[in-house]
Amino acid sequence: MLDKINDLLEEVKEFDAKTIEEAEAFRIKMLSKKGTIPALFQDFKSVAPEERKEVGKKLNELKQAASEKVNTVKKRIAAAEDSRKTAGDKPDMTIPANFDPIGSRHPLSVIRNRINSIFQRIGFVISEGPEIEDDWHNFSALNFPEEHPARDMQDTFFVNKNPDIALRTHTSSVQVRVMETQQPPIRTISPGRVFRNEAISARAHCIFHQVEGLYIDEKVSFADMKQTLLFFAREMFGEQTDIRLRPSFFPFTEPSAEMDVSCSLCGSKGCTVCKYSGWIEIMGCGMVDPNVLENCGIDSKKYSGYAFGMGIERIAMISYQINDLRMFFENDLRFLKQFESASPH
């Protein structure tokens, strides 16, 4: 029996397997109830008494060796399978790089952020308000008379044909809300989306974006406004930029003006962008009408202020030399990819 046990010990020592199934077959062969080793334990009864000590020791050694061998082989096979699965999840560093396309901010977002940043550096804070407004905040508080053409359906999107509720036509409505809830000094800009019932063309759209500014305090003058807007123009378009103010009319400012900047594309010599005038109109501005201050609960005898408003699309068209406003809304990837390197600020 000792010779048979020694032969089995050698077989166990040399055993190996490539699969869990092979290892399990070996376990059944050696250690199952009808396996080789349990059969030897049955034969142990016929071993001579003087040999039992040595044979019993060898038999137990065989059983332990077989059990440990099966467990070791199974663990090794399982670890190898886990390693292959994990390796499958890792990138193959030998494969040529395939760079995913880089996203970019929309050009209107880039320009809006630049405008916000310029005014924030000189103390303006950002205010926001609802896009659906009532008549008071959108028109009446801003000194729009009942017969003003902006109240007509041709210019305004009314909600459910209700003349008192409409999509805001400018972000001046946000300024009204600020004046109603805060006392001077007030220094705020109001960027946002606005809506007007206009035909869509290369120079007009029913949806566009504005940044409007408001400064109210004691002894605020037209000269203060001019200096602020000159600072903005030179920060936005370059240090060589000049501005000019032309008389105009807005219901909520008096006096009112349109502001032009010198054309940076041609150096004010004249080109197709500035229509050969050397100047490009970018915003309206003026001193806040005393009636607007009183409508919002601010003492017009003590306080004065200025307001201004510009279209973000217009600034973007000038900055990027874009001649069709509709391109901002069409989500054409060929157009948007041109701004992948544009600064987010």
Amino acid at 163: P
Mean pLDDT of the chain: 87
Residue numbers of the domain that contains 41: 2-89
Q: Which residues contact 122 (CB under 8 A, 6 or more apart)?
A: 228, 231
Identify the pLDDT of residue 33: 83
Pick from 54, 89, 124: which residue ends a domain?
89
95 in a domain, yes or no? Answer: no
Q: Do 63 and 37 meet the contact criterion of CB atoms below 8 Å apart?
A: yes
Identify the pLDDT of residue 341: 65
Alpha-carbon gap, residue 235 to 240, rounded angstroms? 10
301 and 275 in a common domain = yes
Instruction: Tell me, rounded to whole angstroms, the distance of Cα 258 from its chain centroid.
Output: 34
Burial (0-12, 13-18, 19+ Cβ within 10 Å), 213: buried
129 and 278 in a common domain = yes
129 and 36 in a common domain = no
319 and 188 in a common domain = yes
Give pTM, 2 decimals. 0.68
Which pLDDT tens digit goes with each residue over 144-189? 888 877 777 668 888 988 888 999 999 999 999 999 999 999 999 9
213 in a domain, yes or no? Answer: yes
Pick from 60, 89, 118: which residue ends a domain?
89
- Residue 273 pLDDT > 80: no
Alpha-carbon gap, residue 339 to 322, rounded angstroms? 12
Query: Where does 47-130 have alpha helices with state H?
Result: 49-89, 107-120
CA torsion sign for 269, 270, 273, 275 is positive
Pick from 57, 89, 121: which residue ends a domain?
89
275 in a domain, yes or no? Answer: yes
Confidence category of residue 289, pLDDT binned at 50, 70, 90: very high
- Residue 15 pLDDT > 80: yes
Which pLDDT tens digit goes with each residue over 78-136? 888 777 766 656 666 777 776 777 777 899 999 999 999 999 999 999 999 999 999 99
70 and 130 in a common domain = no
Q: How many CB atoms lie within 10 A of CB 248?
A: 15
54 and 111 in a common domain = no
